Amino acid sequence: MKVAVVGAGITGLAAGYEAVKAGAEVVVYEAADRAGGRILTSELAGRPVDEGPDAFLARVPGALGLCRELGLDANLVSPTQRAAFVYSRGALRELPQPNVLGVPLDFDSLAASGIISAPGVARARQEPDLDGPALVGDESVGGLVRRRLGDEVAERLVDPLIGGINASSMDNLSVQAAVPRLAEAAAHGPSLVRWLRRLVASPGADPGAPVFYTLPGGLGGLAKELGDRLGDRLRLSSPVSDLNHLDADRVIITVPAARAGRLVAPLSETAAGLLGSIRYASVVLVTLAFDARAVKHPLAGSGFLVPAVEGLSITACSWASSKWAHLASPNTVIMRVSLGRYGDNELLYLSDEALLGVVMSDLETTMGLNATPQHVRISRWEHSLPQYFPGHLELVTTIEQALSKDAPWVQVTGAWARGLGIPACIHQGRQAALAATNGAPGPR
């Protein structure tokens, strides 16, 4: 069985790895001169600092399992700080505990946090006893959370977290595709809080267990390990523009949706059209290193989120050198600042100087920081985060069905499909490879 994989982001690397394991003859084609896609680690202030993703969720299977298989698990590290903050109502305030995906499970702790107003807390307190339908099908995260817990919890806790991860607004985001855990709670409804409280109190739940993992040399190490294992089966600087030129029995396409659409256009008009309809957000990550003496604000946490309703440009700031022991130094503070939401590409095209000005102004507002960074790195990630609108999973199923009918030897998957986090991408890549090497979905 000859398998060609198009794209060597984490999805394509995982697909290639799995197909080799299954005994296939594999070639992974990558357009760029490096593997990893959105995963990229480079040096800043003498430290390996990620330019894109900096950690993966421990809870979602996929990444941890693969690291174990690759023998990387002994090296994995998790954040040294568990506290996280939200910039709300003029100050940085600690996220109330416990919470799941920003949904507060203890309303006294929510009140004490000061993140939302007293009427907002009173509205949220009604949730466990509020009547309403259980979730059937899909709806937006915003629709669900606003209805259950009120606008303030939705806008100042859930949106900064879930909207932030997806560079989206919760009001556009499919609860089923983007936050399956919340969809599961809502399906057991009506109360999200009651279900989530039961979940965190269940015997298997360990509140002290690590939530995130990374590699001390940065996540680039994971892409490198997979690339090394592929060896000369990985062809860099090899963009694919025509599937008919590939000498393969099965093709797995793992490139962003619009490009995947163009590749399958000669084979399946339906799949191509739907792939082309998937939208992306662009984001910018500005990494800064400061002389530690210049940063007066306490950094006892992993960083902070900024709700869209606060009207600032930055969406989050990770106190990277506090969050990760391997980035800590007595002399230098490293921060990773995120900007960009779906529909707002303006920041992406600002000059470096203007962008830095925007970031420093927002850091002054949120942290009272007024210092000149010693090092600045700007990573622009254009069209990098696929947007899962309500009904997204049905759209993905329709794409898959159209392709399995029109070109059964081709599969399409990746961050745009059924999960954009690294664990989900790994899972999807491996599943596609297993299907291909098992002879499914069908011959060329």
Ligand X SMILES: Cc1cc2nc3c(=O)[nH]c(=O)nc-3n(C[C@H](O)[C@H](O)[C@H](O)COP(=O)(O)OP(=O)(O)OC[C@H]3O[C@@H](n4cnc5c(N)ncnc54)[C@H](O)[C@@H]3O)c2cc1C
Point out which residues bind ligand X (CB under 6 A). Answer: 6-12, 29-32, 37-39, 52-56, 239-240, 254-256, 259, 283, 285, 381, 384-385, 414-415, 420-422, 425
Could you please report the per-residue DSSP string of 10-57?
A: HHHHHHHHHHHHTT-EEEEE-SSSSSBTT--EEEETTEEEESS---EE
- Smallest distance, ligand X to C-beta of residue 189, A: 28
Compute the radius of gyration of the chain from its Cα atoms: 22
Residue 159, Ramachandran bin (φ over 0: left; ψ between -120 and 50: alpha; else beta)? alpha
- Cβ proximity to ligand X: between 52 and 261 the closer is 52
Closest CB to ligand X among residues 30, 155: 30
Q: Which is nearer to ligand X, 91 or 211 (CB)?
A: 211
177 half-sphere exposure, CB direction, 13 A CA radius: 26
Structure tokens at 31: 């357009």
d(CA 133, CA 66): 39
Complete DSSP assignment for 130-176: ---PPP-S--BHHHHHHHHH-HHHIIIIIIIIIIHHHTS-GGGSBHH
Which residue matches tokens 């600032």? 312
Closest distance to ligand X from the beta carbon of 93 (Å): 23
**Shortest reach from residue 430's CB to ligand X, in Å:** 12
* H or E, element range at 239: none
- Closer Cβ to ligand X, 111 or 285, answer by number: 285
| Beta carbon nearer to ligand X, 6 or 327 | 6
- Taking the least distance from each CB to ligand X, the nearer of 54 and 155 is 54
Q: Find the shortest distance in angstroms from Cβ 72 to ligand X.
A: 16
Q: What is the three-class DSSP state of 272?
A: helix
Q: How far is the CB of 349 from ligand X (least distance, A)?
A: 17
Neighbouring C-beta atoms of residue 280, cutoff 10 Å? 19
How far, in Å, CA of 92 to CA of 35, rounded? 38
Min dist. Cβ of residue 260 to ligand X (A)? 8
CB of residue 435 vs ligand X: minimum separation in angstroms? 17
Distance of CA 152 to CAs 94, 125, 275, 308, 342, Å? 16, 12, 35, 12, 21
Burial class (CB in 10 A: 0-12, 13-18, 19+), 128: middle
Kindly state the smallest distance separating residue 164's Cβ from ligand X, in Å. Answer: 10
Give the number of other Cβ atoms within 10 Å of residue 188's Cβ. 15
Minimum CB distance to ligand X, residue 416 (Å): 7
Q: Which is nearer to ligand X, 50 or 139 (CB)?
A: 50
Handedness of CA 200, 201, 205, 206 (dihedral sign): positive
User: Would you call 80 helix, strand, or coil by DSSP?
Assistant: coil
Nearer to ligand X, 110 or 424 (CB): 424
Q: What letter would DSSP give residue 350?
A: S
Closest to 45 in 3D by CA, of 335, 334, 356 = 334
Residue with tokens 């159209």: 402
* Beta carbon of residue 152, minimum distance to ligand X (angstroms, whole number): 27
Q: Which is nearer to ligand X, 64 or 116 (CB)?
A: 64
Shortest distance, CB of residue 56 to ligand X, whole angstroms? 5
Amino acid, res. 444: R
Q: Which is nearer to ligand X, 283 or 359 (CB)?
A: 283
Distance (Å, whole) CA 39 – CA 52: 6
Which residue number, 111 or 378, has a Cβ lying nearer to ligand X? 378
Contact partners, residue 269, CB within 8 Å, separation at least 6:
none
